[in-house]
Amino acid sequence: MYDLIIIGAGPAGITAAVYAARKRMNFLVISKDIGGQTAWSGEIENYTGYQFISGPDLTAKFEEHMRKYNVPLKEGEEAIDIKRIGDKVVVKTNKGVYETKTAIVASGKRSRELGVPGEQEFKNRGLTYCATCDGPLFPNKDVAVIGGGNSGLDAALQLINIAKKIYVINVTESLTGDPIMQEKVMASDKVTVLNKAQVTAVSGDKLVSGIKVKTLEGEKTLAVQGIFVEIGLIPNTEFAKVIEKNQRGEIKVNSHNETNLPGVFAAGDVTDIPEKQIIIAAGEGSKATLGVFRYLARLK
């Protein structure tokens, strides 16, 4: 019986784990990976203490900090159910069942898919959801970035130094990312932005060779060798069937990070907090563990 199980090892989960270790809790971290969305990020210029740091480098710092405390970690394990039975919380994963007094759900979000013909066939064959991970595989290639928000613009900025030509395909009337990012993207002669454009299909043979796009002028096929899908994220909450969520599938929490399930807390992008930022997720992780500590102190 653990005092606490933390589900997820992104900024929220790792920070929660550091606080739990410092409180000398008997706890466990369960996560399919380390870093979450931070590991996918390119240039990070708004994390306090670092004027500039890459996503992978910040992830390495997070992991280093966590492992300093010898945090018990089940990496490569994924939660598939969580419920309360009597006075304990039961977490079921793809590899086992664990019992705990409390839990923090910090499972983050995953990339939203396009849902068009050819997407499944060309995954990892030219179509990817992570410019940070896979951008270097496309030197001097023509590529398309799907999405005009911060994620899409971040991907485009990373690819400017790698690719030959970049099409930014944006479904809205204009780009929606931060103005400074828009300025940097638009300043490059490598970038062509297609607004009010929608992807209808991905084509190719063994690898991606083109993408069909519906625009105001009609449907056209762009010859590209790489496609980076950056159209938003879906909360990883399918396993949390008994926890209350909003219409977007995000877990509802109060100011103390408590969910509707006694003893179960949630933190980070998986929750309904209004802003999704690395620094906010980390802060929410610390709040969640402090909430758990107070909850455990009140137990008989």
The per-residue DSSP string of 155-204 comes to HHHHHHTT-SEEEEE-SSSS--S-HHHHHHHHT-TTEEEE-S-EEEEEEE
**Is-contact 129 112, C-beta < 8 A?**
no
Q: What is the pLDDT of residue 296?
A: 97
Q: What is the pLDDT of residue 114?
A: 95
User: What's the pLDDT tens digit per position in 73-110?
Assistant: 999 999 999 999 999 999 999 999 999 999 999 999 99
Residue 129 exposed, middle or buried by CB count within 10 Å (0-12, 13-18, 19+)? buried
Residue ranges of the chain with per-residue pLDDT less than 70: 300
Catalytic residue among 3, 130, 154, 269: 130
User: What's the pLDDT tens digit per position in 74-83?
Assistant: 999 999 999 9
Residues 6+ away with beta carbon under 8 Å from 235 = 107, 108, 109, 245, 248, 249, 250, 251, 269, 270
Residues facing 214 on adjacent strands? 198, 219
CA distance 254 to 234: 21
Task: Respond yes or no: is residue 81 known to be catalytic.
Answer: no
Instruction: Give the largest CA-CA distance in the chain.
Output: 69
**Is-contact 288 267, C-beta < 8 A?**
yes
The per-residue DSSP string of 77-100 comes to --EEEEEEETTEEEEEESS-EEEE
**Is-contact 268 11, C-beta < 8 A?**
yes
**DSSP 8-state assignment for residue 231:** S
| The two structure tokens encoding residue 225 | 């060798």
Task: Respond yes or no: is residue 134 known to be catalytic.
Answer: yes
**DSSP 8-state assignment for residue 112:** P
- β-pairing verdict for 97-105 and 264-266: parallel
pTM value is 0.82
CA distance 172 to 227: 19
Q: What is the pLDDT of residue 131?
A: 87
Catalytic residue among 57, 81, 134, 178: 134
Q: What is the pLDDT of residue 42?
A: 75
Q: What is the pLDDT of residue 40?
A: 79
- CA angle, 100 as apex, 99 and 106 as ends, to 5°? 110
Q: What is the pLDDT of residue 275?
A: 86
Catalogue all structural domains in the chain, each as residue range(s) with its CATH number: 2-110+233-298 (3.50.50.60), 127-229 (3.50.50.60)
**Is-contact 36 136, C-beta < 8 A?**
no
Task: Respond yes or no: is residue 130 known to be catalytic.
Answer: yes
Q: What is the pLDDT of residue 91?
A: 98
